Amino acid sequence: MTNEATRKMMSFPNIVFPTVGYGITRLLGGSNGGGPPDIDRNSAGTRMLATQTVFSLIDAWLRLSMLDDGRVCTGDSGAPNFLGNTDLVVAIGIWRQFCL
pLDDT digits (tens, 9 = 90+) for 43-86: 888 888 888 888 877 777 777 877 776 777 777 888 898 988 89
The residue ranges of every structural domain in the chain are 3-92
* pTM beyond cutoff 0.75: no
Q: Provide DSSP, the chain.
A: --HHHHHHHHT-TT--EEEEE-----EESHHHHSSS-EE-GGG--S-EEEEEEEEEE-SS-EEEEE-TT----TT-TT-EEE-TTSS-EEEE--------
Under the banding of pLDDT at 50, 70 and 90, the label for residue 88 is very high
Range of 4-8, 37-41, 71-75 with top mean pLDDT: 37-41
